Chain A
């Protein structure tokens, strides 16, 4: 394969050419209710060639047939020549990288037989089903994958990376009359834990069941504006949706008005707010030691003491904006060219204890976990998994169907307390952008308090 890739790169007539080859083996075991839905293994193998003709554009070829890479390079080159950009596309200069990164797992999930994987998921599913007669349906899902990715470009880079990932999710669905509620818990590793990450998770399954049952008697929240305390898991998806996407430079680099709006030095929040993206931390969900253009990962501060100080780049967006590439050009698989994406995004730890954070809230909401979030940059949405009312400084009754809406510019500034209990979200989170989904991303935060959040409801 090495010779084939080198000779295909050498044959290219483009200004810049890269080839990425990926082989992925994945296993999935899924129970739904009493039944096993699937226990199986899949193999996916394919490649991508991307060519740049500077004064024309990009050409991309993706394929499963790896026999004739030279013809794929030629196809991508011909595609690139169709483009018609107004100004030549430049890439930030990069030192060629030649390296091999192998993954080592303490307990390699590839060595665990499918029968053991099935047995463990069945056991957790049994905990969910047996918890209470009102649990009418469950999902207990285990998934692992092991990818080997070769990246090579016409500048001499050759990077081989192995990427393991294992995840477990437990969903309990409780029903009483027409009232149907869900509790969801999950855990994942992209690091050396391997199979260990799913062992001893009885409590995780029980927690999902307890949440679903608790929500059966929870009341919907009355619509309005509330002070919201978000738990670390929800705060972490908040920073991903509310701010992270706007820091992806592909949104602003060719739009003068967007660049103006996102001028470095602009104040986005109070001095207690610090935000970074970091693909270099070992073992996290979004860890990307070299991105899909071969740029090494590093910590990129986005907000420091409330002020915008940086953003996320590919080589193309960095060159255009006169900044440095940040290691954020990522592709979800060989079926796509890389685009600017987050890696592990976090609100840095603060100093406020949880008790102090809720202590002076007369009426507020303690919102926990999430179903999901979406952003249209200025406006964003995230739905919490479950919530509690805060009354007179204390956690009171459970509440359900809490969806938080906000405006980036006002909401970030309304973060008036940052907790001292930072945690990375352990769930198998995936992000979608321009059809590339689910890209593994990590996110972390301590508890945060946000004033004046719009909550929809009856």
Chain B
């Protein structure tokens, strides 16, 4: 049956998303290639608006389209008030998210990439144990609706995860890094080089006396700062009245060196696509410009509630309804070379990774995280790994005045680009003696 036509006949407004995903995955455990997986996913999600109410249903069972349709209509009869309409067809600029080189990577090539990654780390640390997962997929997403929208997004995500365990007695070091892209990246070994460098710097430990000190956040560590901020920048939290910065558009809230952009239109990036998951063209959204709050991210529903246009940030899984979500989130780099920032630190730490990211009452801007990996800096030099530390603060306070932002920036966790960010004076707990 043509489920879209069936639903439109029943209730006027309908949208259907068909998702197909074919993934090949190779996994190394303890430096050995152990498991290869081929995963195929197919599913259909539908939304309807019936008598002003929204309904939603999804299924991965191709036999039961009638059931899917009746579930969606049933859902709408109890559903929430929908003050919006599904997306009108608008031609989007072409964005490169598919690369035949990635889509056609053979399983043997994925295996050899894994070995190259492991070799880089094992050359530095022969006793380390590497866990590596490399996957390449072809994802096809088709969204159609009653207004004649019919968009087809094809992407070829390539993901590499690499985790390294090093154990010496009771000293455990567990570090990881990730790559996410939709086009071939010649520098896919960079993450293994970064891990090898961290292992090398961690050979010595250094003790840190708790107290207030300068803290330099690496691009990964900076997620501890950007995650609470992102909650406040999400249009949904703004609509619900939770965002502490809901009414502050146009105000200078942060250090003038801070600019943050959400950009779903960058060619080849992990979270890029021509259209969002409601069929609205993706955009480049300046959120903070030179410390000034410019706006928030929205999907159709939250935009309608706020009386503005969707920013093209709808995101959904097969079984979950749409919500506003960030695409490629970029904290713009600054002007100071990283080496100069470190050289200028008399005594402080570099936070490379934290535990419990996003846990806690982060909507208030508060974060409090044990540090998973940090290095101590003394008189401008990295002197070793600092263990057992915890950091805490409120991003709305800490980001008012920065020490420096590095010229260098990195892509981390697939879709986050960040520089090194120096907070000149913040609280660091724990540590004393634990590192010696």
* A residues adjacent to B (C-beta < 8 A): 23, 26, 32-33, 35-46, 57-65, 75-76, 79-80, 82-86, 89, 114-115, 118, 136-137, 173, 175, 178-182, 215, 220, 223-225, 250-251, 254-255, 257-258, 261, 335, 337, 371-383, 400-403, 405-407, 409, 434, 454-458
Contacts and interface: CB of A to CB of B under 8 A. Distances in A.
A115 B26 CA distance: 45
Interface string B413-436: 000000000000001111000100
Contacts of B107: 79, 82
A458 B427 contact: yes
Contacts of B360: 371, 383, 401, 403
Contact of B33 (A85, A220, A383): A85
A61 B36 CA distance: 9
B80 A400 contact: no
Contact of A407 (B43, B241, B359, B388): B388
Nearest to A225: B430
B333 to A, nearest CB: 28
Interface stretch (B66-74, B84-92, B266-274, B339-347): B66-74
B56 A136 contact: no
Contacts of A337: 35, 37
A63 B129 contact: no
By secondary structure, the A interface counts as strand
**Which of A57, A382, A456 neighbours the largest number of chain B CB atoms within 10 Å of its CB?**
A456
A46 B241 CA distance: 40
Given A180-B361, A257-B168, A223 B427 contact: yes
B34 A79 contact: no
Contact of B370 (A26, A86, A403): A403
B190 interface: no
B36 A458 contact: no
B314 to A, nearest CB: 14
19 contacts: A39-B79, A41-B75, A43-B64, A45-B60, A62-B37, A62-B41, A79-B35, A84-B111, A114-B75, A114-B78, A223-B427, A250-B29, A374-B355, A374-B359, A377-B174, A379-B372, A407-B387, A434-B133, A454-B388
B167 interface: yes
Interface stretch (B288-296, B389-397, B404-412): B389-397
A57 B35 contact: yes
Nearest first, the 9 closest Cβ-Cβ pairs linking A and B are: A456-B390, A405-B370, A254-B30, A381-B355, A223-B429, A381-B356, A454-B430, A403-B368, A79-B36
**Which of A42, A173, A178, A378 neighbours the largest number of chain B CB atoms within 10 Å of its CB?**
A42
**Which of A23, A26, A175, A180 neighbours the largest number of chain B CB atoms within 10 Å of its CB?**
A180
A82 B392 contact: no
A92 to B, nearest CB: 17
A456 B37 contact: no
B39 A62 contact: yes
Interface in B1-58: 26, 29-30, 32-43, 55-58
A123 B139 CA distance: 41
A86 B26 contact: no
Contacts of B242: 136-137, 173, 175, 180
A316 to B, nearest CB: 10
Given A44-B59, A137-B240, A405-B370, A379 B79 contact: no
**Which of A38, A250, A434 neighbours the largest number of chain B CB atoms within 10 Å of its CB?**
A38
A434 B25 CA distance: 13
Interface string B347-383: 0000000011101110110101110100000000000
Interface string B107-134: 1100100000000000000010100010
A261 to B, nearest CB: 6
Given A373-B359, A383-B360, A401 B60 contact: no
A215 B360 CA distance: 13
Given A84-B33, A335-B41, A456 B169 contact: no
B370 A380 contact: yes
Contacts of B428: 223
B336 interface: no
Contacts of B172: 261, 376-379
Contacts of A407: 387-388, 434
B364 A179 contact: yes
A178 B244 contact: yes
Contact of A59 (B36, B41, B174, B319): B36
Nearest to B45: A42
B165 interface: yes
Contacts of A136: 240-242
A99 B364 CA distance: 51
A409 B388 CA distance: 12
A12 to B, nearest CB: 16
Given A42-B58, A375-B355, 6 more contacts: A64-B62, A82-B107, A220-B366, A225-B430, A372-B359, A456-B370
B81 interface: yes
B34 to A, nearest CB: 5
Contacts of B81: 35
B80 A454 contact: no
B370 A180 contact: no
